[in-house]
Amino acid sequence: MLRPYLPSQRPYLTSQRPYLTSLRPYLISTHVNRGVFACPTRPISFPRTMLTKITVVGAGNVGATTAQRLAEKELARTVVLVDVVDGVPQGKALDQWESAPIEGCDTRVIGAANDYGPTAGSEVVVVTAGIARKPGMSRDDLVRTNADIVKQVSQQIKQHCPKAIVVVVSNPLDVMCWVTKQVTGFPRERVIGMAGVLDTARYRSFLAEALDVSVQDIQAMVLGGHGDTMVPLISYTTVSGIPVTQLLDRAKLDKIVDRTRNGGAEIVAFLKTGSAYYAPSSAAVQMVESIALDQKRILPCAAWLDGEFGLSGMYCGVPCKLGKNGLEQIIEVELTGEEKAGLKKSAEAVKQTMAAVTL
């Protein structure tokens, strides 16, 4: 039986081993074969499974921050940052690698410009490539431009990383997932979109703020397309198991839902010349972590639907189990009439955007 170490009871422990003196607060002792066995009271960290290589395509704010978070979590031995602008991925990757001794991580970050050779064999690829909407550019113009970019990226992934699981972040998210799946020819299990994790994080943060509670105690999920038609599931929103409807009235909840739907636009309005990247990168990394460590997390992700929730032939945000095989299960939950109508409306919006793209 383990018990706290008391120097007065075991004076020989530190007297015979002076180097243990500084460890007194962290030691406990017990008899093992007539001797004293010392072990730390702090949790022991066992080695985790680490991937060999993860690639991030796009060295803008979202991509570069994603690469940094992946490296600091040591989810792979190597993180490759790829971009079309020479010097940018190399410089940012080098800067991140030089921070490794301070952060205490050994993941090597390397950069490559217009060269997918270093990405060969990546187990996971995160796609953040694309442009932001410019003044005078229609939504359809943006869709077609980014579809061309993601198409080129997908061709490179197919060639250099044929066994990779792809996490798409590029917008319009649901359509870019479809482009990636069509071009790579990968099964739906290996092409997943990041949207719902981000939208849910915003929803949870706004609820925590309104209730003055920890974000960790907010359980929630946002489904549907990544846009104005997303569907926060109020019926599944709880605070440490307490239905949120018992803590906030419907008017307040509706305001929070509306703010969630416009979460990205709110940040753009503040930044003027940029968009969100801290929360989007965190969301992408949470998905990659569940895959890399086979955590089996249930996360809202954009997945290719084949009859689930009454929808087919499109990507839409739904509850997904993510593990070492990528998308391992789509979990169909019972929705209220209002939530079903919202999800159907969101799906229709995604299909309209898909119609603007010709592959």
Question: pLDDT band at 34, cuts 50/70/90?
Answer: very low
| Contact (Cβ atoms closer than 8 angstroms) between residue 316 and residue 302 | yes
For the domain bounded by 51-193, which CATH number is listed?
Answer: 3.40.50.720
Question: Taking the domain 196-354, which CATH number applies?
Answer: 3.90.110.10
C-alpha distances in Å from residue 184, one per residue of 63, 178, 252: 21, 10, 44
Give me the phi and psi of 181, to 5 degrees please: -65, -45
Q: Is the pLDDT of residue 21 over 60?
A: no
Higher per-residue confidence, 220 vs 272: 220
Report the alpha-carbon distance of residue 3 to residue 270 in Å, rounded. Answer: 56
Q: Flag whether pLDDT at 337 surpasses 90.
A: yes
Q: Mean pLDDT, to the nearest integer, of 142-148?
A: 94
Question: Could you give the CA distance from residue 29 to residue 23 in angstroms, rounded to a whole number?
Answer: 12
pLDDT score of 223 more than 50: yes
- Quote the pLDDT of residue 138: 72
pLDDT at 183 over 50: yes
Residues 6+ apart with CB under 8 A from 349: 225, 227, 228, 229
Identify whether 226 is a catalytic site residue. yes
Query: CB within 8 A of 105, min separation 6: which ones?
Result: 71, 72, 73, 74
Active-site residue among 226, 319, 321, 330? 226
Question: Residue 239 pLDDT more than 60?
Answer: yes
Q: How far apart are CA 319 and CA 300, in angstroms?
A: 4
For the chain, the domains span: 3-40, 51-193, 196-354
Q: CA-to-CA distance for 309 and 335, rounded, in angstroms?
A: 9
CA count, 13 A, side-chain hemisphere, 228 = 3
Q: Please provide the average confidence, as pLDDT, over all residues in the chain.
A: 89
Confidence of residue 48 (pLDDT cuts 50, 70, 90): low
Give residue 347's pLDDT band: very low, low, confident or very high (50, 70, 90): very high
